[in-house]
Chains A and B, each alone.
Chain A
Amino acid sequence: MDFLDKIKLREPEYDEKYYDFILKFTSEQGASMGRSTEEEQYELGKYFSTRYEMYMYATLLGLRKGYKVPLEKGTNKRSFIAINSWKPTIIADYIIMSVLALGDYDFFKLEELDIKELEKIITTIKNDIEAYANGGFEIIYSKSEEDEAYFVENENSFIDLLDE
């Protein structure tokens, strides 16, 4: 069994309440249809080409801040493409690496588990990714609520936010 491949087959979800908020910063429609040029993206104030780019950013923000907010049961969720489609792959791998690093996973013992048990672990890992992403979204959302101009007037806002 290829452990990483199994993880990457999963399609992480996010709280539906962030759907419009994510769209504010992505030019996903155009990009997915191959119409949005970088220039248009810039002109429209879109920082990310796709939803998964922003998702990756949110997950890494949550990971970097150690801020994990698991999606509660009953949350209306939205999913998008599986991790194995996220680009750049190296960043997707780095996210998995980080989730494994911060989670309560004994690598050595993982190898002793049977398939069913391992699938459970993989689900937990996916849940962790979602929890960090959810945490990241919460940070971004709070920031934009706190200071409406933050993401509008500062080209470097998403980089700056990593340092705050």
Chain B
Amino acid sequence: MILKSVSLRNFMCYSGENLFEFSEGLNVIIGDNGYGKSKIYDGIYWVMYDKCFDSNGEEKTTQQLGRDIVSDKAEHDADDGPIECSVQLTFYDNRKEYTYTLERKLMGNKRDDKIIYSPSSNEKVTKKTAILSAQIVDDEDEIARIKKRILPNNIKPYMWFQGEQINNIVDFRNSETLTNAINVLSDISKYDEIASVSESLFNSVDKELKKKQRSLSTDKEKSDELEKEINRKKSQLYDFKLDLKKAKEGHLDASGKAEDLVSKLDIAQKIKELDEKRLDLESKFNSTVIKLREAQQSLHKKIFTRGWILKGTEGLFKAFEEKKATYDDAKLELRNKIQEEKSFQKKLQTRLPENVPEPVHVNKMLEQEKCLVCDREAPKGSAAYKAIKSLLEKSDETLKSLEAGESRRFNFSSEFENLYRTGLQQEGKIKEIDQDISESWKEIDKFFSEKEVLKKSFGDIEAQLENYISESSISAADSKRITNEVLANQKLSSKYSADIGSLEHQIGIIEKDIKRLEDKYAKLVVEDLPDKILKKFQLATHLNEAAKSTRKRVFKELISQLESEANKHYLDMTKDNLSARGIIRLSEYHGNYTPELVDNEGNPLAQLNTGNTLLIKLATIMAIISARKSTRDTYLYTLIADAPMSSFGEDYTLGFCKTVSQVYTQSIIMSKDFYKNENLRSQLLNDSKINLGKVYIVEPNLKEKERQNRLNLVTHIKQLN
């Protein structure tokens, strides 16, 4: 069945009428992120399942999504009256020449800028044959059958998927996933049916044989007892085998999980280490920033606390010092004068008593300019004259006057002294200010350098960490969880392993018991069993064994074929990538198969990235499809994948496209890989090895910033070939 066209009317970002026509081969819809590629996938999905995906990739019903399905522009532009949002798919079955159209519609009604939508969507399916015109299909069962022909539910995960879904949907760690996929997409189930029929036949013949043996038994009571014991043992065996199956699955799951995580363990530990380093650097950085800030802040404070404000003011102190010295000298001079006067007075007092000679005689001596005591000349102005004259002056008055000078109104000497001491004290410090400032700056520079070094180291570590995290998708928080999970799964795996050993041992014992009991049972029959029954039993036994071994052989052959096909596709997809390595091996674990990547010596490769894992999955699914390509089953289904290449690098893109175009009869892929890389787009359009269908490019009319206002949003569709 080929999807011929998708027509979208007012659906999400597709306002108005929009048509995509597809053909066989690889059809590609190109567009950047947010340009509307996924909305086409949503549209197809909506028609089929009445559901869409929200921004978190979760399925939502029409009722849950409501008006989110409808184009904002359509709502805005509509006049009062009905609004229609619909998607129509046209499928063509070229073997039967039937055309099916499936349409889903959501109706709303606008009145005074308010729009009320129907609570549910309407579905309309028509069928047109080569001869008859289109007929509406009313029957629900018929609609379900048509949809099943388009895509059966059990195949959906392998044929329709979004890039991020495939990892979860196709989980090969579940040991039955590959087996189930093979069952769904191959005719192995026929062999299962044969094996099941032959087993039923064997059980029935076995029952008949036992019945006959019991009737011919020499000791019927004993036979009954033995038969009961055999049945009890068989029931026990069945339970143990069931437990063994569960233990094996559990072991595979736990060891698989541990193995998966072990490959991440190294990187998780590295991330953990880097994260610890980052935290340490962050703490050191913050503490240095605080120290730096404190040092910078203290610069302002030091203007006062360390007296930097006095820088270069030594001259002011010197000036004060000079004035203070003058003041001190004046004070000293006065004190000296008083001292002199006091000495003189004292001297005088020791030479003559007071008023001797009497003033009348002294005046006479001055008149005569002669000392009448010693009879020596004392000319005016001479020292002798002055000495005589001083006898007349009241000496204590001079002294009093001098002393009055000293005991003045105020005495500021202690205050001037205090100021002087202040200056003196600061003078020493002023000399050290330059050195102090320089040292403070050195400290700031040191912290600043430290901060810069830490910042750089922090940036480097963070870049490394981001790199590891983005490459491994392991967050710093996950790194601890991974370590714990590895340990837990390793323990669980060991426990299951021990359980398997114990169960296998017990199964062996029970099987031996059954054999022993059956021998005993047979020995109670002395008469010969009828040939007919014996031959029937032998035939049923052979048939049962043959059916089982054939199923096993066919399955093994299928696995081998799949392995070879998967490797062919893997090689095709990775041949442009030099770093691609390993080969795919479908390894058997207790009867189930899991794909893994191994080296040339068969050793599993560790530390596969998401891209590698996805390629293995895709190659394995493609192998199932291509191995069955000749049958009608896979021809019927179209691969529809939204961003399937999002997890692997650009150099895988063309290889993937070539392989897809060769494996699937029709595929429709939404991709951004060809949008910006025009060279890659040109290769897509011109590579003769790519069986190319239609290629479209979708672009919104508004730039990203303007797209918030979606009222004018139109998506342009351009066909490139």
Contacts and interface: CB of A to CB of B under 8 A. Distances in A.
Contacts of B408: 111-112
Interface string B226-256: 0000000000000000000000000000000
Given A57-B309, A102-B319, A90 B426 contact: yes
Nearest 4 CB-CB pairings of A with B: A101-B320, A107-B327, A101-B319, A98-B316
B412 A111 contact: yes
Interface of A: 1-4, 38-39, 41-42, 46-48, 53, 56-57, 60, 63-64, 87-88, 90-91, 93-94, 96-98, 100-102, 105, 107-108, 110-114, 118, 155-156, 158-159, 162-163
A60 B419 CA distance: 16
A159 B304 CA distance: 11
Contact of A159 (B293, B311, B444): B311
A56 B305 CA distance: 13
B317 A101 contact: yes
Nearest to A56: B309
A163 to B, nearest CB: 6
Contacts of A159: 303, 308, 311, 437
Nearest to B412: A3
A107 to B, nearest CB: 4
Given A38-B297, A42-B297, A94-B426, A4 B418 contact: yes
Contacts of B441: 156
Nearest to A90: B422
A64 to B, nearest CB: 5
Name the prevailing secondary structure of the A interface residues.
helix
Residue in B313, B315, B316 with the greatest tally of chain A CB atoms within 10 Å: B316
A94 B423 contact: yes
Contact of B304 (A1, A88, A105): A88
A158 B309 CA distance: 9
A56 B316 CA distance: 15
Contacts of A64: 312-313, 315-316
Nearest to B304: A88
Given A56-B304, A91-B307, A159-B311, 12 more contacts: A1-B410, A64-B315, A94-B316, A94-B422, A97-B317, A97-B419, A97-B422, A98-B317, A107-B326, A108-B326, A111-B412, A156-B299
B400 to A, nearest CB: 17
Contacts of B301: 38
Contact of A41 (B297, B324, B411, B437): B297
Given A108-B327, A113-B410, A60 B313 contact: yes
B323 interface: yes
Contacts of A3: 410, 412, 415
Contacts of B305: 88
A3 B311 CA distance: 27
Contacts of A100: 320, 323, 419
B328 to A, nearest CB: 9
B410 A98 contact: no
A4 B330 contact: no
B308 to A, nearest CB: 6
18 contacts: A4-B415, A46-B300, A53-B304, A60-B309, A63-B313, A91-B307, A91-B309, A98-B313, A98-B317, A101-B319, A101-B322, A108-B331, A111-B409, A111-B412, A112-B408, A155-B296, A155-B444, A163-B311
A42 B320 contact: no
Contacts of B326: 107-108
A158 B310 CA distance: 12
A58 B412 CA distance: 28
B468 interface: no
Contacts of B300: 38, 41-42, 46-48
A62 to B, nearest CB: 11
